[in-house]
Structure 1
Amino acid sequence: MNVFVVYAHPSTKSFTHQILEGLLRGLQIGGHNIKVSDLYKMNFRSDMTEHEYEREGFVQTDLPLPEDVVTEHQKIEWADCVIFLYPLWWSDCPAKLKGWFDRVYSVGYAYGYNKEGQKIRKMKMVKYGVAICTAGHPNDFLKETGIAESMSKIMLDDRLGVRFENKKMMILGGTLDIEKVKNLHLNNVMALGQHIETFFLKK
C-alpha cells in the first residue's frame, strides 16, 4: 500500500516525534511504500498569498498553482492511505497543518463548482484517511468536554470529508503522564502501521 504521512510538529524531542518514528517503523514492517511531508522540516508555507486567495475566492482555476502545492497534490494522488499526525493545540491542529489544508485543498482540486453548478473537484477518492493526534489531557476528559467530538467533526467530517472512502481518528491522550501511556500509544501506532486494513475493521 502507498502511504502518505503529513506530519506537523516543530520539535524532534517531542513525544509526537516518537510517535512518528513508531508509525514509520510499523509501516516499514508492514511492507508499505511511504512518503512523508514533515511540514516544519520542509518549511511549508502555511499562509495563503494574495494571488492564491484570488484564485480561491474568485474560482479562477485557470491561474497556476504554486509548485509546493502541486507537489502535495502528486503525493495525494499516489497514496492509498493518507495519515495526518499532529499534536492537539487549543482543540485543533497546529497552524502549519491548518495552512496545509488551506493551500493544498485548492479550488478545482479538493472542492469547487463551476457556474453551472457542476462539481470541479479533481482529487481522487483516497481509500483510507487517518488522523492521529497526541494530547496532554486523557481521552476521557476530551470526550466529557466535547473536545474529542469537535476534533472528529472538523478533521474527519470536514477536512477529510467526501475525499476519503474510510476515515478514522486515533487520539493518543494522557501524555501529561507520559510514562503511563508511552508504551501503549507507541504499540498502537506500530500496529496501525503494520495492519491498516485491520485498524479500520475495529469499532
Structure 2
Amino acid sequence: MNILIVYCHPSENSYTFQVLNQVKNILMEQNCSLEVSDLYANNFQSNLTENEYRREGAANTELPISKDVVEEHRKIENADRIIFIYPVWWSDCPAMMKGWFDRVYSVGYAYGQKADLPKMKIIKYGAIICTAGHANEFLNEIGIAQSMQSVMLDDRLGKRYEQKEMLILGGTLEIENVREKHKEQIKKLLVNLINCCG
C-alpha cells in the first residue's frame, strides 16, 4: 500500500510535527510504503505564476505545467491513499497548503479533463488531519468545523477520492488535556485508512 502524506508546517517544534511522526510510525509498523511531500522543507511555491494563471484562467492546457507540479502529480499517481496534515490557521489550512491545491489540482488534470489529457486517478482514501488551538466543541458551536469540512472534503478532495475523512485535533492550547485522546483518534483513522476499499 502506497501512502502519500502532504504535510504543511514550518516548525519541527510544533505539535503538528509530532502528529506527523505518530502517523508515520503507525504506518511504517503496518509496512506501508510512505512518501512525504513536506511543503515547507521543499520550499513549495504556493503562488500561481503568470503562465499558470493563463493556463488555469483560460483553461489553456497547451501551456506547460511547472516541473514541481509534475513531481506532485507523480506522487499522487503513485499513491493509493493520501493524508493531508496541517494546522488550522484562521479557519483554514496554511496558505502554502492552499497553494498546493491551487497549483497541483491543475486544469486538465484534476478538473476540466479532455480525452487526450492525463487525468488524476481516483484515490481510494483521502484523510485530512488538522490541529487546532480551539476545542472541537467551540469550532462546532461557531460553525467553523463544518465550514472546514465542506471546503476540504466536498470541494478540495471532492469526487477525486472514493472515501474521505477529516479529523480535527482541537484543544491544542491545552495540549496535555487532549494528547492521549488525539493519539487514539489518529490510530482509529489510520485503521480505517488501511482497511478501507478492500
> Shorter-chain-normalised TM-score: which range?
over 0.9
Q: Distance in 2 between matches of 1:59 and 1:198?
A: 38
2:49 matched residue in structure 1: 49
2:171 matched residue in structure 1: 174
User: Could you give the per-residue CA deviations for residues 55-75 of structure 1, whole angstroms, max 9, x where no partner exists?
Assistant: 111111111111100000011
For the aligned residue pairs, the C-alpha RMSD in angstroms reads 1.9
Shift of 1:113: 5.2
Q: Distance in 1 between matches of 2:34 and 2:191?
A: 12
SS of alignment partner, residue 11 of structure 2: coil
1:4 matched residue in structure 2: 4
SS of alignment partner, residue 35 of structure 2: strand
Q: Find the partner of 1:161 among 158, 162, 187.
A: 158
SS of alignment partner, residue 34 of structure 1: strand
SS of alignment partner, residue 45 of structure 1: coil
Q: Distance in 1 between matches of 2:22 and 2:48?
A: 32
SS of alignment partner, residue 3 of structure 1: strand
1:75 matched residue in structure 2: 75
Q: Distance in 2 between matches of 1:160 and 1:191?
A: 20
Asked whether the 8 Å contact 2:113–2:119 carries over to 1, the reply is no
What does 1:62-141 align with in structure 2 at a 5 Å threshold?
62-112=62-112, 122-141=119-138
Unmatched segments (≥5 aa) in structure 2: none
SS of alignment partner, residue 183 of structure 2: helix
User: Could you give the per-residue CA deviations for residues 92-149 of structure 1, whole angstroms, max 9, x where no partner exists?
Assistant: 00000000000000000000156xxx89671000000000010011111111111010
User: Could you give the per-residue CA deviations for residues 150-188 of structure 1, whole angstroms, max 9, x where no partner exists?
Assistant: 000000000000100100100100001011111221343
Q: Distance in 2 between matches of 1:57 and 1:23?
A: 37
Residues 24 and 62 of structure 1: CA distance in aligned 2, closer, same or farther (over 3 Å): same
Query: Sequence identity of aligned pairs in percent?
Result: 55
Q: Distance in 2 between matches of 1:83 and 1:25?
A: 14
Query: TM-score with structure 1 length normalisation?
Result: 0.91
Write the letter of the residue equivalent to 1:56.
Answer: E
Unmatched segments (≥5 aa) in structure 1: none
Residues 162 and 185 of structure 1: CA distance in aligned 2, closer, same or farther (over 3 Å): same
Residues 137 and 93 of structure 1: CA distance in aligned 2, closer, same or farther (over 3 Å): same
Q: How many residues align?
A: 197
Query: TM-score with structure 2 length normalisation?
Result: 0.94
